């Protein structure tokens, strides 16, 4: 398992804008994810449904 690294909001924004990382809401509750939605983010449920098709090297940023 890879090390977990904390990054700034600015770094997360830059990586997601450049398509270098997926931005994922870590809450399993869809209603909570909708309330806390950030531009370009996906829900945890969406990540789970896409997980098998993601490359092993895909960077994922949870918030």
Q: Is 90 exceeded by the pLDDT of residue 3?
A: no
Give the CA angle between residues 12, 28, 1 to the nearest 5°.
60
Tens digit of pLDDT for each residue in 5-62? 899 999 999 999 999 999 999 999 999 999 999 999 999 999 999 999 999 999 999 9
Confidence of residue 1 (pLDDT cuts 50, 70, 90): low
Instruction: Single out the residue of 49, 1, 43 nearest to residue 22, CA to CA.
Output: 43
């Amino acid at each position: 398992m890879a090390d977990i690294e904390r990054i700034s909001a600015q770094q997360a924004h830059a990586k997601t804008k450049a398509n270098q990382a997926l931005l994922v809401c870590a809450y399993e509750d869809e209603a909570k994810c909708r309330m806390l939605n950030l531009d370009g983010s996906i829900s945890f449920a969406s990540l789970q449904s896409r997980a098998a098709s993601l490359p092993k090297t895909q960077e994922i940023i949870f918030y």
